[in-house]
Structure 1
Amino acid sequence: MCGNSQVAGLAGWHATCPACSYESAALTGAINAHTGPEVNEAEREAGLKALRLENFKTIVGYAKKHAQPGARRLLDVGSAHGWFLETAREDFDVLGVEPDAVVGSRAAARGLPVRSGYFPDVLAEGERFDVIVFNDVIEHIPDIRSALDACRERLDEGGILILNLPSSRGFFYRLSKLIARMGWRAPFERLWQKDLPSPHVHYFNPRNLCQLVAGQGFELAGAAELPALRAKGLLERLRCAGNVPVLSLYLQYAAIMAAIPVLRMFPSDIIVGVFRKKAAG
């Protein structure tokens, strides 16, 4: 990121840069070939959909604000269940790319334009876009610079790239690191999605993210935070965390609901960067 060497972090697979605070993980993904714990997609949808849909509406607003006049073609990389495609298709001609064959086929079966495979391999030669969006995806891609180079190549002049991702400055991420230092690593590992089919391999903050993307031929057009928690759908999200006793479930729900106004005083765990492709030359 900044040219300095990383040092050992909080686990054998975790490293951090003392200069720019970039964090990385030596974790390996296994999409379409995972043999570890199964992800219950129905529970995942119940727990995340309400939060994601509200945030996706905001991101579509950023796309409309920053895209060139008349922009129509939008690519959603890692389109998953297709929720963002459904949100954006009223304003854009959308296309999704999804590497998880099962998840992508379910979205396609609902009539959404989703191609199964990896970006940019599944795109036709010369296929270009006005807007490219990564929602909770870019932090999973090991060769992130190649992905950003492909975005630059696939965007028309003045096109925009929107990155929606976790933040290392976020309240819950920093809390998980504090707890990990005290000996309980489970929350920290969960935020990195360790042992899941597609773990995180990067953690950025707004500054080092901008430093990386600017070095790949983009300029910052806008930056924001999005809520990591919303009251709507919170109970369902807690339920999908596992077999939690009913009393404990509702105590957690009441505590988090009471904490939501306070959490707004701290940096969010979700950041958005809107980047414009620099003019050639």
Structure 2
Amino acid sequence: MAHKLDMKCPVCDSEHYEVFIEPWVNELNPAKLYGAASGMLGTQRLVTCVDCGMIFESPRYDAATIVKGYMSSKEGEHDSQYKMRVLSFYRSLKKNANSLPDPGAKILDIGTAGGAFLEAAMQYGYDAYGMEPSEDLVARGKTRGLQIEQGAIENHSFEQGKFDMVCLWDVIEHLPDPKTALVEIRELLKPNGILLINFPDIGTWQAKIARKRFWWILSVHLHHFTKKSIKDICSRTGFDVFHYQRYWQTLELGYLERMAVHYRIPLTAFITRFTPDFIQRIPIPYYASQTTALARVQK
């Protein structure tokens, strides 16, 4: 069994921090901690960097152990909302159209899951490629005719300067070394290329009210960003953030209820038992503290 290691701040490399949250669940099995996108609640000791304010897990497992867990992930539940996710992504692209590359551009989506964003991007007119560590999700995406390569940013096969835009949809919080990943992404982008980062924002009013019960504090989320820390890590890796946008997603009510039960939101288990099937299939738009940041390669 691998051992957990003390971590430096993933943004500024400081070793000075204060404890933010102590764990209340004792789970050490990496397969359980990292083998599903939904993750586990209450397993992490989170700390706040004294020097830059970044919130991250320490101690935690090494990168190889974490990525191995991601690769074994089977995500039928996540993929069950494929059509809804395509719709949400497409609406986001339309909403941010003035700040994004024009149709026809080459884009890369890292951590693309079953390829919902790739399909939305193709509908928008992009030449879209994806990377995903999960064998199960890559197989699902390929059956849909999508261009997905299995792996992580550290072992990609793409040529430098190939893409007009690289996207990290709900991915940067999963990366063991996000700063190194952003440096690698910068090399993949053309001059003046766009970086899109969608992330669970721990700086929102919702997060501040929920505190340790914030629904995005999960075993698979190694880092917890705010707008400030996203801007900071981008600046340190060669990007200038120029736009933020709240991310509204549309998913079926039944799926949202099941996720709420998993995240132990009060009364949801009781309510779910009495929700008819036809009600569970109703699409629900919602905002849950996710933020989209757009950054441009520094000149």
Smaller-chain TM-score bracket = 0.7 to 0.9
Q: Which residue of 191, 210, 225 maps to 2:216?
A: 191
SS in structure 2 at match of 1:139: coil
Q: What TM-score does the superposition give when structure 1 sets the normalisation length?
A: 0.76
Q: Give the AA of the match of 2:216.
A: L
Equivalent residues of 2:159, 2:188 under 8 A apart: no
Q: Which has the higher contact order (CA 8 A, sep 6+)?
A: 1
Equivalent residues of 2:122, 2:128 under 8 A apart: yes
Do residues 236 (structure 1) and 255 (structure 2) align? yes
Do residues 84 (structure 1) and 105 (structure 2) align? no
Do residues 6 (structure 1) and 17 (structure 2) align? yes
Do residues 24 (structure 1) and 49 (structure 2) align? no
123-132 or 151-160: bigger deviation? 123-132
Q: Which residue of 271, 283, 286 maps to 1:248?
A: 271
Q: Which residue of 230, 247, 264 maps to 1:209?
A: 230
Map 1:125-274 to 2 at 5 A: 125-126=159-160, 128-177=162-211, 180=212, 187-188=213-214, 191-194=216-219, 199-227=220-248, 230=250, 232-239=251-258, 241=261, 247-249=270-272, 269-274=289-294
Question: Cα distance, 1:145 vs. partner?
Answer: 1.0
Question: Cα distance, 1:102 vs. partner?
Answer: 1.3
Q: Which residue of 57, 76, 79 maps to 2:90?
A: 57
Separation in 1, partners of 2:227, 2:272? 33
SS in structure 2 at match of 1:191: coil
**How many positions carry a matched residue from both structures?**
251
Equivalent residues of 1:78, 1:135 under 8 A apart: yes
SS in structure 2 at match of 1:138: coil
Equivalent residues of 1:67, 1:159 under 8 A apart: no
Equivalent residues of 1:17, 1:23 under 8 A apart: yes
Q: What TM-score does the superposition give when structure 2 sets the normalisation length?
A: 0.71
Task: Give RMSD over aligned pairs.
Answer: 3.4
Equivalent residues of 1:21, 1:208 under 8 A apart: yes
Equivalent residues of 2:70, 2:133 under 8 A apart: no
Equivalent residues of 2:240, 2:295 under 8 A apart: yes
> Any stretches of 5+ residues in structure 2 without a counterpart?
1-10, 24-44, 277-283
Q: Give the AA of the match of 1:56.
A: F
Equivalent residues of 1:76, 1:134 under 8 A apart: yes
Question: Cα distance, 1:214 vs. partner?
Answer: 1.4
- Percentage identity across paired residues of the two chains: 23
> Any stretches of 5+ residues in structure 1 without a counterpart?
181-186, 254-259
Instruction: Provide Cα deviations, 1:205-255, integer angstroms capped at 9, x if missing partner.
Output: 111211110121111221111136x5x5123321354699985227799xx
Equivalent residues of 2:107, 2:126 under 8 A apart: yes
Equivalent residues of 1:95, 1:113 under 8 A apart: yes
SS in structure 2 at match of 1:140: coil
6-15 or 88-97: bigger deviation? 6-15
